[in-house]
Amino acid sequence: MKIPRYYEKLENYLEPNKTLLIFGPRQVGKTTLLNDFLKTTKLKYRLESGENIRVQDILGSQDFDQIKEFVEGYELIAIDEAQKIKNIGMGLKIIVDQIPGIKVIATGSSSFELLGQTGEPLTGRKRTISLFPVAQLELKKLFNNYELKSELAEYLIFGGYPAVVTQVTKNKKVEILKEIVESYLLKDILEFKKVKGSKIIFNLLKLLAFQVGSQVSLSELAQNIGVDHKTVGRYLNILEQSFIIYSVQGYSRNLQNEITKKGKYYFYDNGIRNAVIFNFNDLSLRNDVGALWENFIFMERLKKREYKGIYANAYFWRTWERQEIDLVEERDGKLYAYEFKWNKGNFKVPSQWAKTYKDTSFEVINKENYLGFIL
């Protein structure tokens, strides 16, 4: 089964003398997306890998003549795993500045590497898109609503990585997820010079996995894993920039009873979250269905906003009296509040929210109405 991706028509995102940066976790299909596009393009292209030492030497050299000679005669330059190239931002800047009409695509799995290198050099010379694990709105091209709902438990437990979605047996899905966590995601992190060892990172990930949807503080995490809070803060930043977790802060207009100092952390993929704690039990045997549901809906909504260009700031909201809302979107100067509940029920808008934030919408997202929210 070939899964259609939202950015299949990459030509719509290409511009002369600009670089198209494609970010995302490892194994979500960036290379496949690039290769599928190159098979159909009429542009004369050159495809290179950032893992190639020769390419690293040339594009990292900042030598105008050498780089111009390397790309001469091509209409499109494509570089996979571009984060492996030192000073890649300057190399790409030289290409788009010196070669009239050239188009460039660069993929990267580690934003803390590639974004850091390309930010300033490519100011005004780039367009960035993010590729996630397979979204429900992408699967909608293959399945109708009934079929998507029928497989909901699979997505909550095993997530949306392409290699996982296309497998049939549970054992094979578990095997692939274990491999992704151990050999790909953590590999990116451990290559980063500020990370000393895998044990602390993995213990931190486990803590976050057990607290999905709950508020956590740096001091609490630090105390639990036995390191200082600055180290925890640095590691959380690395985990987020490497597309494993996503942080959300509390919304407040500085009311005394609103909590803002703690944050929430979601996993980009439910399957990765479950692989970290190695729990792939059926939903009927779990006590964390609510957390799985919240993580799934939050991330599917994030994918929708990203893919469809819905610009919004995302927060959660909670008071010291424990009134809370899972997601607050600030769009076009208005607030939209959403509560995620696995089962349908009579859940009313929190009284303090209704009193403080009048003229805002409120909606409960459950397993019966969720598709309208994420498709």
Domain ranges, ordered by start, for the chain: 10-130, 136-374
Q: What pLDDT digit, counting tens, does each position of 330-365 carry?
A: 999 999 999 999 998 888 899 999 999 988 999 999
The pLDDT of residue 290 is above 70: yes
Counting residues of the chain whose pLDDT is more than 70, the rounded percentage is 94
For residues 240 and 171, the model is more confident at: 171
Q: Which residue has the higher pLDDT, 194 or 337?
A: 337
This prediction's pTM: 0.94
User: Hey, what CATH class is 10-130 in?
Assistant: alpha beta
Q: Would you list the DSSP string of 17-50?
A: TEEEEEE--TTSSHHHHHHHHHHH--S-EEEEET
Cα separation of 146 and 139, whole Å?
12
Architecture of domain 136-374: Orthogonal Bundle (1.10)
Is the model's pLDDT at 28 over the cut of 90?
yes
Sign of CA dihedral 103, 109, 113, 119: positive
Summarised one tens digit per residue, pLDDT across range 57-100 is 999 999 999 999 999 999 999 999 998 898 899 999 999 999 99
Mean of the pLDDT values across residues 275-279?
97
Is residue 80 classed as helix, strand or coil in its secondary structure? Answer: strand
**CA distance linking residue 98 with residue 85, whole number of Å:** 20
